[in-house]
């Protein structure tokens, strides 16, 4: 498991946050965060006060990465880029999460390495991580300032226009009783703009492959914009399906065969394809996955085999 207890002994009474600073050579706020999350245990009791003086037997729940061999496709002293498979979280969402991309980030970048942006679990493709705290702040700021440009590829239902732009504000929903969409198009939502270009149309499958450029970075932006245009992404179990299908997916009752039959693919057919930014040098990084040739009718077994080959 990525999270495990680190056990050690403190002889002299020492303030709790100082114990963590000395043990792990971390910043004060990180030590405070560990205490706030109940990760520090002294003599069997959870420590809740950061400046409480403690001594004796210590146990700290810490992240210990376990790689599954998904090494970075590009690495410098400042950052790393991974080709994330579909179905993997970029960061553990709970202590019991068995594996996430953070395992690879820390394995190949060290304890100070961290992801600098989010990708939906089901979206595959390029994932950017920093190698230390200084560059983490720098890269996150660049994302906020839109100095890092991303493009995606998406297989969608139907034959789309050659080029089109969706400028439709997005709002996070607070009521899931009528549908399971996480976001919706709403006049009082936040501005969201996405450019789309059709690369090809497959008549047999009645599906288009699109090049996608989001100009803003809203939650589920590409998915809801394509659903809004009546061209939902193949394999999307939330946008473009029935309430029952979406509920079955969220409750982990939807099998891959059922998903294939109901949505056209057994995974979300959205792929983060390129990253473009300047950090000392100018970088244009493209995914190694040939998403154009990735069949949308592959079985779950074949999908796993393809991901092992591509990464």
Give the active site residue among 6, 83, 103, 120.
120
Give the CATH architecture of domain 152-270: 2-Layer Sandwich (3.30)
CATH of segment(s) 74-145: 3.30.70.580
pTM of the model: 0.85
SS3 251: coil
Given a contact cutoff of 8 angstroms between Cβ atoms, the answer to whether 271 and 71 are in contact is no
The structure tokens listed for 20 are 């963590």
Per residue in 37-59, pLDDT tens? 999 999 999 999 999 999 999 99
Number of Cβ within 10 Å of residue 19's Cβ equals: 23
Q: What are the two backbone dihedrals, phi and then psi, of residue 213, each rounded to the nearest 5 degrees?
A: -125, 100
Q: CA torsion angle for 111, 114, 119, 123 (degrees, to 10)?
A: -40
Spell out the domain ranges in the chain: 3-63, 74-145, 152-270
Is residue 187 annotated as part of the catalytic site, yes or no? Answer: no
CATH 3.10.290.10, applies to 3-63: yes
Tell me the average confidence (pLDDT) per consecutive run of 10 residues in the chain, 311 residues long: 87 96 90 93 95 95 93 97 96 87 96 94 97 95 96 97 98 92 96 97 93 96 98 95 95 94 94 96 95 57 37 25
pLDDT at 96 (0 to 100): 80
Rounded Cα–Cα distance for residues 77 and 132 (Å) = 9
Rounded Cα–Cα distance for residues 85 and 67 (Å) = 14
């Amino acid at each position: 498991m990525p999270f495990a207890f680190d056990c050690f002994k403190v002889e002299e009474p020492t303030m709790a946050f100082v114990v963590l600073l000395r043990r792990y050579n971390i910043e004060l706020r990180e030590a405070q965060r560990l205490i706030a999350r109940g990760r520090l245990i002294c003599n069997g009791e959870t420590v809740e006060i950061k400046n409480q003086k403690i001594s004796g037997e210590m146990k700290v729940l810490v992240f210990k990465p376990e790689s599954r061999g998904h090494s970075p496709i590009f690495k410098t002293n400042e950052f790393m880029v991974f080709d994330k498979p579909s179905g993997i979280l970029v960061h553990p969402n709970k202590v019991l999460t068995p594996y996430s991309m953070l395992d690879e980030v820390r394995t190949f970048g060290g304890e100070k390495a961290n992801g600098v942006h989010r990708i939906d679990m089901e979206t595959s493709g390029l994932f950017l991580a920093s190698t230390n705290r200084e560059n983490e702040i720098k890269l996150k700021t660049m994302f906020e300032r839109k100095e890092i440009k991303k493009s995606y590829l998406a297989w969608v239902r139907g034959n789309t226009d050659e080029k089109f732009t969706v400028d439709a504000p997005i709002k996070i929903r607070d009521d899931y009783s009528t549908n399971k969409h996480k976001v919706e198009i709403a006049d009082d939502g936040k501005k969201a703009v996405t450019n789309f270009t059709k690369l090809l149309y497959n008549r047999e499958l009645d599906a288009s492959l699109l090049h996608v450029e989001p100009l803003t970075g809203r939650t589920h932006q590409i998915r809801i914009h394509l659903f809004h245009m009546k061209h939902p992404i193949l394999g999307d179990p939330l946008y473009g399906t029935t309430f029952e299908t979406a509920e079955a997916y969220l409750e982990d009752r939807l099998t891959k065969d059922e998903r294939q039959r109901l949505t056209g693919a057994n995974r979300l057919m959205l792929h983060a394809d390129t990253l473009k930014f300047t950090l000392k040098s100018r970088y244009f990084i493209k995914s190694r996955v040939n998403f154009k040739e990735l069949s949308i009718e592959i079985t779950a077994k074949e999908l796993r085999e393809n991901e092992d080959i591509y990464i």
